[in-house]
Amino acid sequence: HRAIARIEHEQGWQRERGGRYQVRDEQLVRADQGVPVQREPTTAARDFENLTGQKSAQRTVIEEGADLMRRARSWRELHELLAERGMRFERKSSGALLWVGETAVKPSTAGRDCSMSALEKRLGDFKPQIEHPLVRPRMPEPVAPASPRWGEYISGRQDHYAAKKLEHERLGQRQRDERGRVARAHRQERHQILGGDWRGKGMVLNALRSVLAARQAKEKAAMRDRQQLERATCRERFPSWPLFEEWTRHHSPELAERWRFRDRKQAGIMGDRDDPARPRDIRAFEAEARGWEVLYSRIGARGGPAFVDRGRQILIHDLTRDSVLGALQLSAQKWGTFTVFGSDDYKRQCVALAAEHGLRIANPELQQAIAGEKERRQDHHRRLAGHTRQPPVRARDRPRAPEVTAERRKPVRDVGEAYARHFEELCRQRGRADLSRVDAVVAVRLRVTGYGRKQVDRAIREGAPKLRPNEARDWDEYAKRTVDHAFGVSGERGLSRMEKDRDRLLTLEGRAQVREEMDRDMRPFPGLGRGR
């Protein structure tokens, strides 16, 4: 198991499921060492939080009750600590219940060391609280991060259900009283009519009983229908209180969107005035009006919309370059000047696009970055203008790479410097037309000179953004794709072609002596390939 962990770490492979060991900070440790078990509420409890915005009783027990039960040194102290937080501990059969307000939760929800058996091992036999302490009433609490209008929502919800409960109790008591009065009246009527001596009049008595029973049954049926209608009217007067997102959307669609995407930082654009959403022409996108929104989707693409125009703001769901550019162009058409909000990566992307396309972003904190990006682009264009165009050179007429100078023969300190040297040489040979292909060749070169998969991945992930700071990419995914290519089938073909250039590549890195060491190490194993 230790060997497997080291091999996985060196090769950059995904850890085997259930592996006992892993490498952390270059040290081999148990996989479960130092990893705390994070308790989470059940799915039902999380659904309750999502629908109402209110913290569930299970989360309260996990976040507060667990600490109180672990701190207590006696049952009396435990009861007092819980009472201060609006909770109480009670035995239930062979287990226990922890009450949070009017909701019961199993104490083991907080952890195995909080179960009834674990507490009795630590605190002794269970002792109920003889003198019941004054339990502090526990008010509803919001789930973090709380919405600004959650207090108003939960207050209205409590008032609504309190009024509904009161009306339901009043109606129920009134209907029970009515049923009692009717039953007594019917009983008294039967006693008066059917009382007395009916000897010799059995047929008349039976007929009278039948008529009386039919009339009283009709009265009871009419009463049941009337009471059923009263209960239906009560339900219509007090329908279910809307879910938090629905309630918020009715009062403020913007807050509803913020609540819906509270776990992630929503990217969007805000204008300086109200402009009703209506379909507009953006080249690569098609518009669909849906209610008071306009959804923009990439032409021919499947899935959800790339961005949504909601009048005064535009919400962006697809953060690829084309989608962000389309949203910015729509904003420029609507408002001219606008404000962007979202993650730092999204803002950096907006800065690059604004400098490239002359868009006006109003964020004060981005003005310096936009000015710097414009200046950098102008310097780049001036440098390009200073070079004369050369006719295309055929591959067979292309000059060979210049000899490696003494300065370039200095040994590289790490794989990052090796990556930079290979990248620079290839750019001088091929130009900077397609840098993704350059990186693909560099990755194979690094494999030829003996670097492993993990080292090459780190070099590209850290080095490529430094050499191309203006490209808006997901560099982690980019590095993964490049390394998969270099260590896959295509990389095998490139590896076989570059074997003859190994000495020159090692000399470029200042590591000519590595070739001799590699040959010496491989001598006892003639069947193994190199660079694997």
Residue 463, CA distances (Å) to 352, 438, 440, 455 in order = 20, 13, 13, 12
pLDDT exceeds cutoff 60 at 404: no
Largest CA distance in the chain: 138
Bridge pairing between strands 360-361 and 337-341: parallel
pLDDT of residue 343: 81
How does pLDDT run across 340-357, given as a tens digit for each residue? 988 888 888 899 999 988
What's the whole-number mean pLDDT along residues 429-453?
A: 81
Residue pair 96/78 in contact by the 8 Å Cβ criterion: no
pLDDT exceeds cutoff 50 at 407: no
pLDDT of residue 437: 82
Residue 20 identity = R
Question: Which of 433, 441, 426 shows the shortest CA–CA distance to 384?
Answer: 433
Burial of residue 270 (CB within 10 Å: 0-12, 13-18, 19+) is middle
pLDDT of residue 18: 75
More confident residue, 253 or 314: 314
Residue pair 359/349 in contact by the 8 Å Cβ criterion: no
Residue 149 identity = R
pTM of the predicted model as reported, rounded to 2 decimal places? 0.44
What is the CA angle 103-138-98, rounded to 5? 35
Quote the percentage of the chain above a pLDDT of 70.
Answer: 83
More confident residue, 37 or 359: 359
How does pLDDT run across 46-57, given as a tens digit for each residue? 899 888 989 999
pLDDT exceeds cutoff 70 at 176: yes
Question: Which of 128, 130, 138 shows the shortest CA–CA distance to 85?
Answer: 138
Q: Where are the alpha helices (DSSP H) in 33-149?
A: 43-52, 57-60, 66-71, 75-84, 116-123
Strand, coil or helix: 320:
coil
Query: How many angstroms separate the CA atoms of 27 and 332, rounded?
Result: 53
**Confidence band for 210, pLDDT divided at 50, 70 and 90:** very high
How does pLDDT run across 135-147, given as a tens digit for each residue? 677 888 888 667 7
Burial of residue 106 (CB within 10 Å: 0-12, 13-18, 19+) is middle
Query: How many angstroms separate the CA atoms of 429 and 112, rounded?
Result: 65
The residue behind tokens 């302490």 is 133
**Confidence band for 36, pLDDT divided at 50, 70 and 90:** low
How does pLDDT run across 469-514, given as a tens digit for each residue? 777 778 888 888 888 888 887 778 788 788 888 888 888 888 766 5
How does pLDDT run across 88-124, given as a tens digit for each residue? 899 988 899 999 988 999 999 988 889 999 999 999 9
